A = this chain, B = another copy of it.
């Protein structure tokens, strides 16, 4: 294992501390644990909270700020945060309009968010929850009943956060977040795995000419292994699966070409060159494109493609101002 770290047991805390030290103008950490909250807490709006294991940076601390998240709760790498820490996060951000929880679909995360909501309920805090599940690679997985939540989650947070800033009610913000979830799909691939520091070895091994297709974001293998193809052919495999899932014809979409952490930006842009052409050829209109490391798996070399089908409301919310560390609009 070759990493820039100190002691493996300190990786998450040192990372969170380094994030706070870089951006103390925007975010702070609760003393009780790795809960990142925005400095400018705002009344008169629904608070948006998410969380999950670490290892997906800049998800989710990088998206705490105006127009996106009010809090992100960080567990250990690829591990759910505890319910009582999530509860502290809910209490910290709760204002007069309630709290919308938007975790990714993961059995541990969902259970802990639900427990935290029950605790908050006893304090009289109104919560609601929607769960992202954009990964079309699998119907169920080792860690989920139903699809996994992956990179499309970032777009759901952007849209829900923008709606919350308008002063909309908890029901209204929940509804638009669910609309985004219903219209977003992702699929990913990897050519090199990630290594959890405390594990000391990669989650899987691949030969020099192999790739894992339909990969999740927790270092686990994909749906199947194949020989490495050209970037265009790989992008087509992902797009075919996404496009067969919901009807994107004659739609406007947001496209995200997301890197897994170790993939150079050069390759992500090269992939977007083909994704753009392939979608355009099918008559799908690209309204906005995001290319970069939005939802990572530590140093995994891989990428995912996300399509979000847009209507006028979603376009407006996607374009609305956001001032976070890793997402500015």
Contacts and interface: CB of A to CB of B under 8 A. Distances in A.
Interface string A167-180: 00000000000000
A23 B292 CA distance: 13
Contacts of A21: 272-273, 276-277, 286, 289
A233 B307 CA distance: 43
Work out how many copies of this chain go into the complex: 2
A14 B303 contact: no
Binding site of A, secondary structure by majority: helix, strand, loop or mixed? mixed
A272 to B, nearest CB: 4
A4 B276 CA distance: 16
A156 B298 CA distance: 30
Contacts of A145: none
Interface residues of A, number: 56
A77 to B, nearest CB: 8
Interface of A: 2-6, 11, 14-19, 21-23, 54-55, 57-58, 62, 191-192, 208, 228, 230-232, 234, 257, 261-274, 276-277, 286, 289-291, 293, 296, 298-299, 301, 303, 328
10 contacts: A2-B192, A2-B208, A4-B191, A5-B267, A6-B232, A15-B266, A18-B269, A261-B265, A265-B293, A293-B293
